[in-house]
Amino acid sequence: MLEGLRIRLRKLPWKLQRKFGNLGYSLRIFRGPGSRRKPSTTVLLILVLGIVTFILMGGIYDILEHPISLLPTPGGYKVLIPGTLGQQTINESLIAGFLYMLGFGGLYMLLRSTRYAYRPRNAYLLLIVGTLVVLLVVFYSNSLLTQKIGG
């Protein structure tokens, strides 16, 4: 019976063949117009990294608590609130966000260095620069936390 249906469908015009032969095509009206578009992976990656950086740098704390940007002291202004990890200034969170973005950039350079197998000069250059950037970010993040704790 199915073979006879296939023979009959072959004799129909192609639009009717498509409509009656493919159930997914005939039910295409239930899909939204944008469901066929695939979002760009680069845009999604940048969006996810931006959201992660915003959360890690304390952006939600900055929105909810409205902290000051600089801490006034008798000798001038300080960027860090010393002695506590529970409070931060806006400039402190901006520095942390900048360090996170630099760290993501360094890790991306390390990832890109693996793709240049036939160009070893470019691979080594990206590997060295990416490693240096990641090490600098780790060093400055550690020094920022050490200053904040008061050590």
The pLDDT of residue 12 is 65
Mean pLDDT of successive 10-residue segments in the chain (151 residues)?
Answer: 65 64 62 67 92 94 91 89 88 94 95 88 94 98 91 57
C-alpha to C-alpha distances, 132 to 14, 106, 120, 128, 139, nearest whole angstrom:
61, 8, 18, 6, 10
The pLDDT of residue 94 is 94
Amino acid in the structure at residue 79: V
Distance CA 25, CA 132 (A): 54
The pLDDT of residue 86 is 87
**What pTM value is reported for the model?**
0.70
Cβ 99 vs Cβ 140: under 8 Å: yes
CA angle 76, 81, 87 (to 5 degrees): 145
The pLDDT of residue 109 is 94
Residue ranges of domains in the chain: 41-149
